[in-house]
Amino acid sequence: MTTTEENTGRTLIRGARILGGEAGDVLIDGGTVAEVGTGLAAGGATVVEADGRILLPGLVDLHTHLREPGREDSETVLTGTRAAAAGGYTAVHAMANTFPVADTAGVVEQVWRLGRESGYCDVQPVGAVTVGLEGKQLAELGAMHDSAASVRVFSDDGKCVDDAVIMRRALEYVKAFDGVIAQHAQEPRLTEGAQMNEGVVSAELGLGGWPAVAEEAIIARDVLLAAHVGSRLHICHLSTAGSVEIVRWAKSKGWNVTAEVTPHHLLLTDELVRSYDPVYKVNPPLRTEADVTALREALADGTIDCVATDHAPHPHEDKDCEWGAAAMGMLGLETALSVVQHTMVETGLLDWAGVADRMSFRPAAIGRLAGQGRPISAGEPANLVLVDPSYRGTVDSARFASRSRNTPYQGRELPGRVTHTFLRGRATVMDGKLV
Ligand SMILES: NC(=O)N[C@@H](CC(=O)O)C(=O)O
C-alpha cells in the first residue's frame, strides 16, 4: 500500500453529519470527493452507513515525534503513521529530533520517503533550525526546503533556539520561501534541573520547578523578533495562562504569530505528579487548573490556532523508572480527538466545525500543506475521518498501533471513537480497525 497508488474505487458515505451539521452523503471517486448531497445513489459504490456519525476533514498534526531514524525501538514512521491513521489523522509533521537529527536535505528526504512508503498518512518532515539542535549554527534551511521533502516548518523542538541572533536569522531566512519557525519556548537557564511545573505541588514534593516565566520570556522575545523582521513564528505547545496573554497581545498587533496546544495540556494538571508516575513527565510540564482553563478558552476564541499532539513515544525502560531518571513525553495521536471532544466539545467551548478548524484546517494552513485541511466539497481530495461521538470506552494501550505505551490515559474513560479514516479516498481505518 503506498500513497502514490491510485485509488480507483468508489465509496458512498451515507447519512453523515458533515462537520457536525445536517446529515448528508459524500461520494468518493478515486482519490477525490465527487459529490456531496442528500439521497445520493450508490451506483455500485461501497456504502458506509454513517448513521449520523460526524464527518470531518482528515486531521493534521503539526507536532509528531516519529523517532525514525535512530529510535526505532520507540516508534517508526510505519508504526507512527498507523497510530496517526487510527487517531483520524491524514497528515503529520515529523519532528526533527531524530538520530541523526533532521538537519540536512538527506535526512528529511529519508523521512519523507518512509512516509510515502507507509501509505497510512502523509508525513511532512520538519527540519531542524540549527545543526544538531545545538543552537549554535543555522542548519541548511534552504536545502531542506528545496529537497523532495519541501520543508516549510523548522523547529529544534525538544530544545529552544535560545540565542536571539540565531532566532532572528532563522526567521529572516525562511521568509524567502514562506517558511515558519516553530519555537520550543524554554529558557534553558531558568529550567536547569527542572522536573515539573514550579508551584505549590513542586514545593511540596521537593522536585525542581519549571517556572511559567521560562516559557513566557521566550515567547515574548520571539513575538517581538518576528514582528521586527516581519516573519512567521509558530509557538509549540503553549502551556501557561501567561503565554496565552502574550500571544493574544501579539495577534492584536497584527503580527504573524500562531500557536498550538497539546491535548494533555487541555486536560491534565500538575496534581497528577503527586503519584510520582513518570507517565506524567512531559515537556513543557503539566501546569495548574487555572492554566488549563486559560488554554481551553484561548483555543475556543482562536488565540491558540490549533491542537497539536506532541506525540512523544518512549520505550518502557525510559518511562518505567524513577521520576528523576525518566524521559519526558507522552503519546498523543490515538487519543487526541477523544480528549478534544471531552475538554472542548462536551464543555460547549467548540462545536465540531470548530474541531475541524483547530485540528485540520488551521494546522494545514500553518504548515502550507497542499491537499490537506480542505473543505468537504466536490473536487477536493478525499481526506476524511468519520467519528462516533456517542462511543464510551476506556483507553487500553495494549490496543494501540504505536510501538510505545506511554499514555497518561490508560484505563481512563474517554468519549468518541474514529471508525473510518480515508487518505485520498482509500480507507486506512475501516470499522475502527486499521486496514
Ligand atoms: N515533549 C516531550 O516531553 N518530549 C519530546 C521533546 C521535548 O519537547 O522535550 C520528545 O521528543 O520526547
ipTM attached to this prediction = 0.96
Grid cell of 356 as nine digits? 475541524
Distance of CA 339 from the midpoint of ligand 1 (Å): 19
- CA-nearest of 73, 75, 108, 74 to 93 is 108
Q: How many CB atoms lie within 10 A of CB 20?
A: 19
Enumerate the β-bridge partners of residue 209. 196
Q: Which of 62, 157, 264, 314 to mutate to test the pocket of ligand 1 (most atoms within 8 A of CB)?
A: 157
Grid cell of 210 as nine digits? 519549571
Grid cell of 366 as nine digits? 500553518
Work out the pLDDT band at 375, boundaries 50, 70, 90.
Answer: very high
Grid cell of 330 as nine digits? 507522552
The residue nearest atom 4 of ligand 1, judged by CA position, is: 329
pLDDT confidence of residue 176: 97
Grid cell of 176 as nine digits? 524567502
pLDDT digits (tens, 9 = 90+) for 219-266: 999 999 999 999 999 999 999 999 999 999 999 999 999 999 999 999
CA distances from 203 to 196, 198, 211, 269, 285 (A): 10, 7, 12, 15, 15
What integer is the mean pLDDT of 1-15? 67
**Is pLDDT at 201 greater than 80 in this prediction?**
yes
- CA-nearest of 265, 257, 258 to 230 is 257
Tell me how many degrees the CA angle 77-359-143 measures, rounded to the nearest 5.
Answer: 50
* Coil, strand or helix at 425: coil
Q: CA 211 to CA 429: how far, in whole Å?
A: 41
Enumerate the β-bridge partners of residue 127. 154
Catalytic: 156? no
pLDDT confidence of residue 405: 98
Q: How many CB atoms lie within 10 A of CB 245?
A: 16
| Residue 283 assigned ligand-binding role | yes
Work out the pLDDT band at 398, boundaries 50, 70, 90.
Answer: very high
Is residue 404 within 8 Å of 315, Cβ to Cβ?
yes
- CA-nearest of 37, 121, 111 to 71 is 111
pLDDT digits (tens, 9 = 90+) for 81-128: 999 999 999 999 999 999 999 999 999 999 999 999 999 999 999 999
pLDDT confidence of residue 7: 53
Is residue 417 within 8 Å of 115, Cβ to Cβ?
no
Distance of CA 328 from the midpoint of ligand 1 (Å): 6
Work out the pLDDT band at 2, boundaries 50, 70, 90.
Answer: very low
- CA-nearest of 218, 307, 301, 235 to 267 is 307
pLDDT confidence of residue 4: 35
pLDDT confidence of residue 65: 98
| Residue 342 assigned ligand-binding role | no
pLDDT confidence of residue 3: 35
pLDDT confidence of residue 77: 98
Alpha helices (runs of H) in 206-313, residue ranges in sequence order: 212-229, 241-252, 263-267, 289-301
pLDDT digits (tens, 9 = 90+) for 306-348: 999 999 999 999 999 999 999 999 999 999 999 999 999 999 9
Helix (H) or strand (E) holding 152: none
> Whole-prediction pTM value?
0.97
**Is pLDDT at 271 greater than 50 in this prediction?**
yes
Amino acid at 263: P
Q: How many CB atoms lie within 10 A of CB 377?
A: 11
Q: CA 313 to CA 115: how far, in whole Å?
A: 17
| 3-7, 69-73, 81-85, 114-118: range with lowest mean pLDDT | 3-7
Amino acid at 388: D
Distance of CA 298 from the midpoint of ligand 1 (Å): 23
Average pLDDT, the chain: 97
Residues with CB under 6 Å of ligand 1 are 65, 97, 157-158, 184, 282-283, 310, 312, 328-329
Distance of CA 64 from the midpoint of ligand 1 (Å): 10
| Residue 63 assigned ligand-binding role | yes
* Structure letter (DSSP) for residue 419: E
